[in-house]
């Protein structure tokens, strides 16, 4: 058993016990050689520790030894403990004179949105360096007690530090098939409960921490229903959207990297995705399966648009009937009949195509649905009525240039009447005549779907002026 005032390794005098859990003790100590304050972390064999705990301890020492960063503790020493009252391993690191976010929260300190954003930006910068290291390093235990905050100066929130690499995981280790479930409940992403780890796992933990700073509510309570409530967040819509993104249960739906998350935080226009429209509007259903997604748009409630399509259908049928009567009369004239025999075939073919498109849109908008889903490198778009497919298009993702969307407008089609043009979005293809248009939509639906597709497919999103259908 180790205790304060004890000297170990003939060099480190243990001063204060900082934390304790089965098999592990952390002391604030004095380095008798340099007279500086240090942190000594000890792993003791007498507590029945597991082999996985030993590997984690060794991995922490290796990360501190070979990864140098001003915002994390610096490696000093490591050695075996062979005392009469304690056997195990010890690692020594620099002591950072700062206060943890947990202590700040417990003391009643609150943080402004600007301060919280500064904290998030500094942590994302640290995570970027960790995740881009060779091999990539995942912390796996980001929470307020492992984040230190130095004294503030001026308008700065102070220097942010990340400590306690006792749960650290390298991507190389996961590829070798070693999975260790570790972390802190509430801050852990869902995949971490099954031993899986991604760089985006740290982004989830960071998002949970930021959410706690904003709301004052522990993540275990805030995220228990799996759905964040906007009224709990007294912050900008941009920051809220950012939190929604990093707290996605599916790791593939978060930011791909800490750098991307940092850019989105600093430039909110990079983070316009808003999935609340898919949760609150029964017309839209969005589901995920690994890296693929499926979006269903139910048009059966679009009565206004159905009536418009119905009017177009009736007009088209009436036009065809009148045209057929005229053609039938002209065919009895010998000279004209020979010429019209060829023309009629062409015109009827064109009219049939127009009729098919009109009737197709009518039935689709009145009782149908449109599905969009990704399968590998392809994006499938299918319109169906009563489970019967009436149109299907397949785009190669690489061939899609941009996703364009437009708000609904009322425009003067004729002097005496106005025409309502609903919101829509278009997948513009590099191949001529291959673009796909999805309509009718509400303004919010068009914007949300366009941003979602842009994010999923990594394709630019543009808002354009409405044009007539």
Summarised one tens digit per residue, pLDDT across range 320-365 is 666 666 666 666 655 555 565 566 666 665 665 555 555 555 555 5
Consecutive H or E run containing 133: none
Report pLDDT for 230: 66
Report pLDDT digits (tens) over 192-246.
Answer: 988 888 999 999 999 999 999 999 999 988 876 555 666 688 888 788 878 888 9
Res. 178: pLDDT tops 60 = no
Could you give the CA distance from residue 90 to residue 104 in angstroms, rounded to a whole number? 29
Report pLDDT for 298: 82
Across the range 257-262, mean pLDDT stands at 93
Q: Which one, of 177, 170, 225, lies nearest residue 201 by Cα?
A: 170
Minimum mean pLDDT range among 53-57, 150-154, 225-229: 225-229
Q: Which of 141, 202, 357, 387 is catalytic?
A: 141
Q: Which one, of 103, 79, 101, lies nearest residue 89 by Cα?
A: 79
Across the range 56-73, mean pLDDT stands at 92
Every domain of the chain and the residues it spans: 7-94, 99-271, 294-299+367-463, 303-357
Percent of the chain with pLDDT over 90: 34
Could you give the CA distance from residue 202 to residue 408 in angstroms, rounded to a whole number? 40
Q: Would you state the structure tokens that stand for residue 143, as one six-digit string?
A: 């929470």
Could you give the CA distance from residue 334 to residue 404 in angstroms, rounded to a whole number? 52
Report pLDDT for 26: 95
Task: Mark out the alpha helices in 257-302 (DSSP H runs).
Answer: 258-266, 276-280
Angle in degrees, 0-180, between the axes of helices 258-266 and 237-246, rounded to the nearest 10:
170
User: Which residues, at least 6 apart from 333, have a Cβ–Cβ distance to it below 8 Å?
Assistant: none
CATH classification code of 99-271 = 1.10.510.10
Angle in degrees, 0-180, between the axes of helices 113-131 and 258-266, rounded to the nearest 10:
150
Q: How confident is the model at residue 83 (pLDDT cuts 50, 70, 90)?
A: confident
Q: Are 189 and 204 in contact (CB under 8 A)?
A: yes
Q: Are 309 and 355 in contact (CB under 8 A)?
A: no
Specify which residues 385 forms β-bridges with.
Answer: 368, 388
CATH classification code of 7-94 = 3.30.200.20
pTM over 0.85: no
Angle in degrees, 0-180, between the axes of helices 334-367 and 303-330, rounded to the nearest 10:
170
End-to-end CA distance of the chain: 80
Q: How far is residue 203 CA from its own chain's centroid?
A: 10
CATH class given for the domain over 294-299+367-463: mainly beta
Report pLDDT digits (tens) over 371-428.
Answer: 899 988 899 998 887 767 777 888 998 888 888 888 888 766 544 555 667 888 999 8
User: Which residues, at least 6 apart from 268, have a Cβ–Cβ distance to it below 8 Å?
Assistant: 236, 238, 239, 241, 242
Is 141 catalytic? The answer is yes
Report pLDDT for 350: 64
């Amino acid at each position: 058993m180790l205790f304060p005032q004890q000297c170990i390794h003939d060099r480190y005098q243990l001063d204060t016990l900082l934390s304790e859990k089965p098999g592990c003790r952390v002391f604030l100590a004095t380095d008798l050689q340099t007279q500086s304050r240090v942190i000594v972390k000890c792993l003791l064999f007498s507590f029945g520790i597991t082999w996985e705990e030993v590997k984690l301890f060794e991995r922490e020492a290796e990360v501190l030894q070979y990864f140098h960063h001003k915002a994390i503790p610096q490696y000093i020493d490591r050695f075996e403990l062979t005392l009469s009252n304690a056997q195990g391993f010890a690692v020594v690191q620099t002591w950072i004179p700062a206060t943890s976010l947990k202590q700040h929260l417990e003391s009643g300190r609150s943080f402004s949105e600007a301060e919280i954003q500064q904290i998030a930006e500094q942590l994302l910068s640290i995570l970027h360096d960790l995740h881009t290291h060779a091999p990539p390093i995942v912390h796996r235990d980001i929470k307020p007690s492992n984040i230190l905050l130095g004294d503030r100066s001026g308008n700065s929130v102070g220097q942010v530090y990340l400590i306690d690499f006792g749960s650290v995981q390298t991507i190389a280790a996961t590829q070798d098939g070693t999975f260790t479930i570790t972390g802190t409940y509430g801050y852990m992403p869902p995949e971490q409960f099954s031993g899986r780890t991604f760089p985006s796992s740290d982004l989830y933990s960071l998002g949970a921490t930021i959410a706690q700073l904003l709301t004052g509510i522990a993540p275990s309570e805030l995220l228990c229903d799996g759905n964040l409530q906007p009224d709990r967040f007294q912050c900008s819509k941009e920051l809220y959207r950012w939190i929604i993104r990093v707290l996605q249960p599916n790791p593939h739906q978060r930011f791909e990297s800490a750098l991307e998350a940092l850019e989105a935080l600093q430039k909110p226009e990079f983070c316009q995705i808003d999935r609340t429209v898919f949760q609150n509007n029964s017309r839209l259903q969005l589901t995920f399966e690994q890296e693929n997604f499926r979006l269903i748009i139910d048009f059966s409630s679009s009565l206004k648009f159905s009536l418009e399509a119905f009017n177009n259908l009736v007009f088209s049928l009436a036009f065809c009937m009148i045209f057929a009567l005229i053609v039938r009369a002209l065919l009895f004239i010998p000279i004209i009949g020979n010429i019209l025999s060829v023309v009629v075939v062409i015109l009827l073919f064109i009219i049939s195509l127009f009729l098919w498109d009109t009737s197709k849109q009518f039935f689709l908008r009145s009782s149908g649905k449109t599905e969009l889903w990704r399968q590998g490198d392809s994006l499938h778009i299918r319109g169906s009525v009563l489970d019967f497919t009436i149109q299907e298009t397949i785009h190669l993702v690489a061939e899609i240039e941009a996703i364009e969307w437009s708000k609904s407008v009322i425009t003067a089609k004729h002097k005496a009447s106005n025409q309502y043009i609903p919101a829509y979005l278009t997948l513009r293809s590099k191949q001529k005549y291959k673009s796909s248009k999805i309509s009718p939509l509400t303004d919010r639906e068009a914007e949300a779907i366009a941003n979602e597709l842009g994010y999923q497919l990594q394709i630019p999103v543009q808002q354009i002026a409405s044009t007539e259908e």
